[in-house]
Structure 1
């Protein structure tokens, strides 16, 4: 076998065999496949698809391209993953809440893709915190704190590590097959006993229509269950950012406000629903509603925040982060308000454009090696359905330079539609997919 032959067959819409996909995944891991060949494969997969059997085969091959963790613990090993949205910092809240409810959570996460933020980038906005832990360090943090949020080590799904970065810069992020294989290869390599997936749909999601989200949720659930990991997916609305803050340090602050009981809202609602689903699936709650309430209680009584603090400290961050988090997070030097030009209802938001605005400010990557400025982004974003008067703030821009803030003013204003009519808002939890 060779990469050119496999790429050509996929280009010509042939069905790739398990052996071919296994060879290609191993080639990604050991360097036998070049970056150019990986990009060509990703584009062919995006355009032509791999089919159901091919998707499962690529997922398992990418999982098996490196180590698969084994655990000998007295509580279930659980995890959550989001398909990506804007203002989505649920992982920072849910991981410690699940630990407070009786689970272990070795969360292997990714960096920003396209217009969406990455959980690792958010965690690294905390001074001193490291996400590049080896397996021994990962196990030590899980033993100490109950959870960890880290990048995939060189030994975990190395095929995905290469393909993930290449997808971000080759316009192939949206491939259903590659999204499925990328998410699940890392999750399955973590040795999970249960998984819940947050599949986003709407203007700020990769899957902009409910039909696309349904297809991805079914592919993820079917593939994960076929691999022996009990999995549920929730389809959640992303027609507006989940939190009112976009950008790495700003989203850490949003998560901390929920963990410390200062706010709740849509961010807490999604966190509780996801947590309830995975707790029920693991037998730690009688049903999903009971599980969701258990998550809420773990946040309200401070146990989840305490776990988060232990995790931050164990990963090299400040020992008193939870009690003094605002002092530790970086702040932008230029802050500007975006004001409504007319009175009316906030009728629509272009979440994709808002995410790209944060990237342009320096809060994400336009090319793979870009350095992120953790302080920049948007805050205090109005919610859909809100009535605003002319001149009322719609959002605040956090920028490193005045000219970047000025450019963002126009971008944010263009991304928010003001109308005389109130919008019909879909439910936040739109559907549930079980195996």
Structure 2
């Protein structure tokens, strides 16, 4: 009430105490009414980007509305953005902060050294003998083959070592180790481009698109977990991400992927029913990524056996459907390092069907078969780009040839 109203009511004989009580009730009711009214800067803001995307993209998981990239100014209609201080405060409480990517492989090298891998130790032990006989060279060859280096690369390495030992007369352990390291690094090939291609693309109409990364592999390789860990790698590099749960046959796959994404504020596009068309989900994920302007769309696919023609044909369909909306930036094949030569057979078939551009090796720290790195690169002609070296959420690291060899030789 203004001052004139107060003056009039007091002059009319109404007690001042009664007026104060009435004023307090009125103010309280106004506050309650204001609290019950939807705020243009609060709850509505969280749903506005979803409404904006729904006009050009299919329905997605409710988690899309809470992604940090979709809360940013410009994600929805002009002016509909959560205030920076409020959004960041909420995210700081709810979200994990992934470990920095730089130096991950170096920090994890010790796990490879402690994994019991006998490759480096056995090679050094044989090469340090006073006089190398044919039996010694046979032992070296057997050691390399057992480590899944492969027949071709093993022959190349043995020939190079024979030449160096004979010409240089190597006997001193330090010199032997240096030569072995040099030859192993050359075999792993540090010249290969192991960076992920995450440059934005363009659709047929020339409109910008996110970098689309398709992740494939057989059952049991840790594919969905790898997608979740890769999302953390990208978030650690300040990239915005959308996940596509195109593994619609395994009931828990979408839930698992959504849990990984929610920990770092990454939304997941998924079907509302099991057994849905995985190509449709992948398409929806890419379209949602385009609508929200994210940097990368990661698409998880169902595990499939390389000898099942129907499943592999379906993978080809997923690839074709995605490329109608945006070009594929990467096709990553997830391989279990413990599978050895069977992993090579998988790599060969997936390479033919999906056009694999890079390998992700999981469980590398728990195997004596580190030579699979060399063999699979020779088989596919594409590099190992990422490796899993543990069970932690940030135990996925960019592969580095020299660091890997040093880990083998320290074992």
What is the TM-score of this pair, normalised by structure 2? 0.29
What is the TM-score of this pair, normalised by structure 1? 0.28
- Which structure: greater helix fraction? 2
Higher-Rg member (1/2): 2
